[in-house]
Amino acid sequence: MAILLLVAVNFKARAQAAKSTLAVGDKMPNFSLTDQDGKVYNSNDHTGKNILVIYFYPKDESMVCTKEACSFRDSFNDFTSAGAKVIGINAGTVASHKAFSEHYKLPFTLLSDPDNKVYALFGVKNKMFMTGRETFIVDLHGRIVFAYEAMMQGKKHADDALAFIKAQRK
């Protein structure tokens, strides 16, 4: 009986830990991570000031992730003109992010989440033995207004996020 109770408690804890991905209408969780320049980025300092485009990607310098980052880079002025800030997050080190940012001249913030704590807060799941690839747009009230997941279509993340923001401005 005691073993059955322990199994049930463990199952319930796992179910709660396996939180679903944040959905449209959910409030963005508060978080703090270190950026590619070694500075602490606190989400509270940015909520309400700009639309936030937060994209989670598996690895610096990988093929699809590089296409995704360069797509956000190439659309950066359009995002900025629309009042949005782009933020990339993965488990890479600050040094890896710095090198990636410099190599591809990325004009936006890259945050290091070495323990995948922010991945978990957003409910981003691992795919194909890698951390997931998902993009969220957070409005000025701190609410998720757009969520997109496509593991192998990195460029589409920037394209669809920008199209969504432009459509909201009309």
pLDDT, one tens digit per residue, over 24-35 is 999 999 999 999
Catalytic residues, by residue number, are 65
Domain contains 11: no
* Tens digit of each residue's pLDDT (9 = 90 or more) over 7-64: 333 433 333 344 578 889 999 999 999 999 999 999 999 999 999 999 999 998 888 8
- In 3D space, the residue among 109, 67, 114, 71 whose CA is nearest the CA of residue 87 turns out to be 109
How many domains, in total, are found in the chain? Answer: 1
What's the pLDDT score for residue 113?
97
**For residues 110-132, average pLDDT:** 88
Q: Which CATH number fits the domain that encloses residue 164?
A: 3.40.30.10
Mean pLDDT of 97-103: 98
SS (H, E, C) 9-73: HHHHHHHHHCCCCCCCCCECCCCEEEECCCCEEEHHHCECCEEEEEEECCCCCCHHHHHHHHHHH
**Domain for residue 163, yes or no?**
yes
Residue 161 lies in a domain: yes
Answer yes or no: is 8 within a domain.
Answer: no
Q: Which structural domain range is residue 134 located in?
A: 21-169
What order do you get walking across the sheet with 32-35 strand by strand? 40-42, 32-35, 109-112, 84-90, 51-56, 134-138, 144-149
Task: Note whether residue 72 is domain-resident.
Answer: yes
Decide if pLDDT at 3 tops 70: no
Averaged pLDDT, 114-133: 85
Q: What is the pTM of this model?
A: 0.85
